[in-house]
Amino acid sequence: MHLDLKRLVSDVTERKQLLDEDLIKELCERCKEVLVEEGNVRHVAAPVTIVGDVHGQFYDVLELFRIGGAPPDTNYVFLGDYVDRGYYSVETITLLVLYKLLHPQRVTLVRGNHESRAVTQTYGFYAECVRKYGGAAVWQHFTDLFDYLVLAVVVENTVFCVHGGLSPVVHTIDQISVVDRFRELPHEGPIADLVWSDPMENYPTASAHSPGGSDPISAMERPEFGLSPRGAGYLFGKEAVRKFLEVNGLAHVTRAHQLCQEGYRIMYGNLLSTVWSAPNYCYRCGNLASVLEVGPDLGFHYNVFGPCPENEREAPVGVGSGGGRFGFRTTPSVDDDEALLPPATGLNGKIVPPLRRWDVFDDDDEVVGPRKSGKRAIENDDEYDGRAGKGGVVDEYFS
Partner 1 sequence: MSGHAPKGDDAIRQTNDDATISRLSAANLGYFHDPFVKYFVRRPSSNERRRSPLMNWGTYLRVTGLDELVDRFLGISVADEQDPSSSNAIETAKQILVLGAGSDTRWWRLKERGKQPAQYFEIDFPEITSLKIASIKKNEQLSRSLGTIDISSGGAELHSQAFHILPGDLRTFHPSITDALVKSGFNKDIPTLILSECVLVYLDPSRGDSIISWCSENLRRAVFVTYEQILPDDVFGRMMLRNLQSRGVDLRGIKEYPDLASQVARYISLGWDESFSVNLNDFYNSSVSSSEKKRLTAIEALDELEEWRMLLQHYCFVWAWLDRSKSGFTFRSFKQL
Active-site residue list = 114
Report, in Å, the least distance between residue 399 CB and partner 1: 4
Instruction: Provide the 3-class DSSP secondary structure of residue 116.
Output: coil
Is 114 a binding residue for partner 1 by CB under 8 A? The answer is: yes
CA atoms within 13 A on the CB side of 21: 12
45: CB partners within 8 A, 6+ apart: 75, 155, 156
- Cβ–Cβ < 8 Å for 355, 343: no
Among 259, 347, 355, 368, binds partner 1 (CB under 8 A): 259
> What amino acid is encoded at 208 in this protein?
A
Q: Among 114-122, 295-303, 358-366, 367-375, which window interacts with partner 1 (CB under 8 A)? A: 114-122
Is 315 a binding residue for partner 1 by CB under 8 A? The answer is: no
Q: Among 69-77, 140-148, 282-290, 358-366, which window interacts with partner 1 (CB under 8 A)? A: 282-290
Report, in Å, the least distance between residue 66 CB and partner 1: 23
Can you tell me the distance from the alpha carbon of 219 to that of 208, in angstroms, rounded to the nearest whole number? Answer: 15
Among 130, 179, 227, 339, binds partner 1 (CB under 8 A): 130
Among 179, 227, 282, 368, binds partner 1 (CB under 8 A): 282
Q: Among 216-224, 292-300, 344-352, 374-382, which window interacts with partner 1 (CB under 8 A)? A: 374-382
Look up residue 88 and give its DSSP letter.
Answer: -
Q: Using only the alpha carbons of the chain, give its radius of gyration.
A: 20
CA atoms within 13 A on the CB side of 375: 16
128: CB partners within 8 A, 6+ apart: 56, 87, 88, 89, 90
Is 399 a binding residue for partner 1 by CB under 8 A? The answer is: yes
> What amino acid is encoded at 33 in this protein?
E
Q: Among 90-98, 100-108, 118-126, 289-297, which window interacts with partner 1 (CB under 8 A)? A: 118-126
Is 132 a binding residue for partner 1 by CB under 8 A? The answer is: no
Residues that bind partner 1 (CB under 8 A): 85, 113-114, 119, 122-124, 127, 130-131, 229-231, 257-259, 261, 280-287, 376-377, 381, 384-390, 392-399
